[in-house]
């Protein structure tokens, strides 16, 4: 392993321990810390707030959090904040987040084992959101490069195809050594087209199912409008029209179900 790589990992480690309590709390402070650590490696030791944990103890939370019921953390990293960071910083942050996630998973597992409440379980989701956002940013950058250089996104090619049941599915292409016309195994394995009596019958029933779901949804919204009108005859009809666009509200107003259980005022 090259020395620079080692340095990088060391950096990630120091930064993590320094900001372990507020990893997610304040991205601004964290980035100041991170950039400070990145620029002046020898002085990174100065900013430790919590004792550095080595090796296997990195899989556990800070010992002072062990007995707590609630751990205060901030929010996840947003895409906008990550977009302005350099590739190197994103790479370091990825490993910080990876270690944090391992730590949280370990703690959650142990808490479940010992029938204890895992404090602040939303931390796992926050780390996950941060990692997803980070990967999204990296992907954006790579796509931009590929579009500039090759005119293609560089993503895995996908297309909509019909499968053997006659349903539209998303087909993700795979990488092959041979071109398609030479790849006999692949030609034999794939099914082209669909048909036959069984498939037609299946499609008929499948479409019936879809239609039924649609019909039921329509009935449900119709009933809901009638119930609202029944309980609240003076409800704003414009709001109802905007909320339920496919329901004929004027027709429903005179429906029997929409009439409330009261004597109508005569002559009004």
Partner 1 sequence: MRITQFLASKLKNFSNLPKEYIERSRKQVYWQTPREKNYLPRTVERKRFRYTTNRPWTGQFRQQNMPATMRRKVLIEPVEDWSFFRGDRIEVLVGKDKGKQGIVTQVIPERNWVIVEGLNWHYRRVGAEKEFPGIIIKSEAPLHVLNDIRLVDPSDLLGTEFEWRFTEEGEKRLLWGEITFQPKLSTFEMDIMEEMGIKEERTPAKSYWY
Partner 2 sequence: MSSRWYPIYQRGNPQLRVFLPNFWMKLVRPEEAQPPNVVTFSVSTEMTIHDVRSYLEKIYKLPVIDVRTRIALGETRRDQTYGYVTKKDDVKYAYVTLPKTEEFTFPELFEKKAEIKEKEEKSMDESKNGFRKFLDRNKKRPGTPGWYSI
Q: Among residue numbers 39 through 78, which ones bind partner 1 (CB under 8 A)?
A: 74-76
Residue 77 to residue 54: CA distance in whole angstroms: 26
The residue to which tokens 């949804």 are assigned: 217
Nearest one of 119, 112, 102 to 67, comparing CA atoms: 119
Contact call for residues 44 and 37 (beta carbons, < 8 A)? yes
Q: Does 240 bind partner 2 (CB under 8 A)?
A: no
Q: Does 239 bind partner 1 (CB under 8 A)?
A: yes
Beta bridge partners of 168: 162
Q: Which of 2, 4, 42, 56 binds partner 2 (CB under 8 A)?
A: 56
State the CB neighbour count (10 A cutoff) for residue 155. Answer: 10
Contact call for residues 171 and 157 (beta carbons, < 8 A)? no
Residue 80 interacting partner from partner 1, partner 2, none (CB closer than 5 to 8 Å by kind): partner 1
Residue 28 interacting partner from partner 1, partner 2, none (CB closer than 5 to 8 Å by kind): partner 1
What is the smallest separation between the CB atom of 88 and partner 1, expressed in angstroms? 5
Cα–Cα distances in Å, from 200 out to 88, 167, 216, 252?
A: 55, 11, 24, 38
> Both tokens of residue 206?
């499948």
Q: Does 151 bind partner 2 (CB under 8 A)?
A: no
**Residue nearer to partner 1 on the CB measure, 36 or 52:** 36
Q: Which of 55, 151, 179, 193 binds partner 1 (CB under 8 A)?
A: 179
Residue 24 to residue 97: CA distance in whole angstroms: 10
Q: Which of 41, 45, 49, 86 binds partner 1 (CB under 8 A)?
A: 86
Residue 105 interacting partner from partner 2, partner 1, none (CB closer than 5 to 8 Å by kind): partner 2
Q: Binding residues for partner 2, per CB under 8 A? A: 1, 9, 13, 54-56, 58-60, 66-67, 91, 94-95, 98-99, 101-102, 105-107, 109-111, 113-114, 116, 131, 134-135, 138-139, 142, 154-156, 175-177
């Amino acid at each position: 392993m090259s020395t620079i790589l080692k340095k990088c990992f060391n950096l990630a480690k120091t930064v993590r321990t320094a900001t372990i309590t507020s990893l997610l709390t304040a991205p601004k402070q964290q980035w100041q810390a991170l950039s400070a650590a990145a620029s002046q490696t020898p002085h990174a030791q100065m900013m430790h707030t919590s004792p550095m944990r080595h090796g296997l103890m990195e899989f556990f939370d800070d010992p002072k959090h062990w007995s707590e019921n609630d751990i205060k953390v901030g929010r996840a990293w947003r895409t906008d904040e990550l977009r302005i960071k350099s590739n190197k910083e994103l790479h370091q942050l990825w490993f910080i987040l990876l270690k944090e996630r391992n730590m949280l998973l370990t703690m959650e597992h142990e808490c479940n084992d010992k029938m204890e409440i895992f404090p602040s379980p939303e931390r796992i989701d926050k780390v996950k959101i941060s990692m997803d956002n980070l990967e999204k940013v990296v992907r954006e950058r790579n796509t931009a490069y590929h579009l500039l250089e090759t005119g293609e996104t560089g993503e895995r090619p996908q297309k909509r195809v019909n499968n053997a049941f006659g349903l539209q599915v998303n087909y993700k292409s795979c990488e092959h050594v041979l071109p398609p016309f030479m790849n006999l195994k692949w030609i034999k394995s794939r099914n082209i087209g669909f048909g036959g009596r069984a498939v037609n019958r299946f499609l008929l029933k499948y479409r019936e199912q879809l239609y039924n779901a649609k019909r039921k949804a329509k009935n449900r919204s119709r009933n809901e409008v009638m119930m609202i009108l029944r309980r609240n005859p003076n409800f704003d009809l414009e709001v109802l029209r905007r909320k339920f666009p496919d329901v004929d509200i004027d027709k429903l107003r005179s429906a029997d179900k929409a009439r409330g259980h009261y004597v109508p005022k005569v002559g009004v």
